[in-house]
Amino acid sequence: MAATLIDGKAFAAKVRGQVAEHVARLKEEHGITPGLAVVLVGEDPASQVYVRSKGKSTVEVGMNSYEHKLDAETSEADLLALIGKLNSDPAVNGILVQLPLPKHMNEELVINSIAPEKDVDGFHISNVGLLGTGQKSMVPCTPLGCLMMLRDHHGSLSGMDAVVIGRSNIVGKPMAQLLLGDSCTVTIAHSRTKDLPEVVRRADIVVAAVGRPEMVPGDWIKEGATVIDVGINRIERGGKNVLVGDVDFASAAERAGAITPVPGGVGPMTIACLLANTVTAACRAHNLAEPEGLTA
Ligand SMILES: NC(=O)C1=CN([C@@H]2O[C@H](COP(=O)(O)OP(=O)(O)OC[C@H]3O[C@@H](n4cnc5c(N)ncnc54)[C@H](OP(=O)(O)O)[C@@H]3O)[C@@H](O)[C@H]2O)C=CC1
Ligand SMILES: Nc1nc(=O)c2c([nH]1)NC[C@@H]1CN(c3ccc(C(=O)N[C@@H](CCC(=O)O)C(=O)O)cc3)C=[N+]21
């Protein structure tokens, strides 16, 4: 392997350490313990795993974790009522409603009912608008984690050619906004992009957020490029269930300058950034100085 491995697991541990320090200071100096509420509707096994791991990390950094598990048949009105209660609860600084929601719910309506200042996912329309106009906002966790790793590796990203594959509201679009904010020349590719291999070959930075196992082969990667693999795909290989990204790691690592693995790359950073956003939200709620280096 020629590429440098960007160790998201180790980076995430460092971020969680910084969050823990800031939480300890908030407690000592101001008697404040930040709180994160996570709402899960239904019994999707993958979602249950994430929610448990989020709760565990929240407690480990010294914050309060409030888990709300609702069954799949819960009405939208009941979910909105719960969000209303969390919005007005001063002990709750961050609210995350795990996606996807059951089919009978209007995801946009639900997300936009979260108080924007508690929207630690950064999905509320106000936060989307603030990010798009370069104003202070809550920044979506996955793109924020990717940005932190890129800045750490490169220092400045100014003038670099970046290609984001995927245009979802939760990953692709906010990722592109953040890269633009750091003065990259940004291309957003998607399922209708003509000649994706050629588009990717131009890139100094490739962020793959598609949800198709190992779809980006090494020969699309420009020699020395930095590859950030957001994909989390569970596939069967050799009779075993394994986790792979959207990038074919083995062949891409031959050409890339640096690359994130799956697992152990973007995933752990997503959770660390969720904690970072929660402590940031708590500081803003109390008009206190925000932790440095934990926001975009
Ligand atoms: N590590 C982490 O923390 C997280 C990981 N993920 C993972 O990231 C991946 C993407 O998630 P998400 O953004 O929610 O996914 P979506 O399904 O919402 O979006 C996928 C995007 O990929 C595009 N796409 C699909 N097929 C192709 C193709 N053949 N060529 C080019 N583009 C294509 C789609 O294009 P179009 O718009 O034209 O349909 C769409 O914009 C998933 O594997 C998910 O599990 C997600 C969130 C967090
Ligand atoms: N409102 C909302 N916000 C989210 O941020 C959100 C969501 N809904 N729905 C689902 C996706 C997915 N997601 C992941 C978080 C961590 C890992 C993670 O830590 N992955 C580990 C592996 C974990 C495993 O083994 O399954 C890793 O990549 O190393 C993965 C995926 C957040 N999401």
30-115: CATH number = 3.40.50.10860
- Give the H or E element holding residue 210: none
Domains 30-115 and 141-267 share a fold: yes
- 208 CA distance to ligand 1 middle (Å): 8
At which residue do the structure tokens 């998607």 appear? 190
Q: Look at strands 161-165 and 185-189 and give their pairing.
A: parallel
User: Where do runs of H (alpha helix) occur along 95-171?
Assistant: 107-112, 125-132, 141-154
- 266 CA distance to ligand 2 middle (Å): 9
- 60 CA distance to ligand 2 middle (Å): 18
Q: Which protein residues touch ligand 1 with a CB less than 6 Å away?
A: 142, 165-168, 170-172, 189-193, 196, 209-212, 230-233, 266-267, 270
Split at pLDDT 50, 70, 90, the class of 1 is: low
Average model confidence (pLDDT) across the chain: 97
- Domains of the chain by residue range: 30-115, 141-267
Decide which of 3.40.50.720, 3.40.1080.10, 3.40.228.10, 3.60.21.70 is the CATH code for 141-267: 3.40.50.720
Does 119 sit in the ligand 2 pocket, CB within 6 Å? no
What is the tens place of the pLDDT at every residue in 37-65? 999 999 888 888 888 889 999 999 999 99
**Residues that are catalytic:** 54, 98, 121
Split at pLDDT 50, 70, 90, the class of 252 is: very high
What is the tens place of the pLDDT at every residue in 220-237? 999 999 999 999 999 999
ipTM: 0.99
What is the mean predicted confidence (pLDDT) over 275-284? 98
Ligand 2 atom at minimal distance to the Cα of residue 263: 29
C-alpha 259/C-alpha 250 separation (Å) is: 10
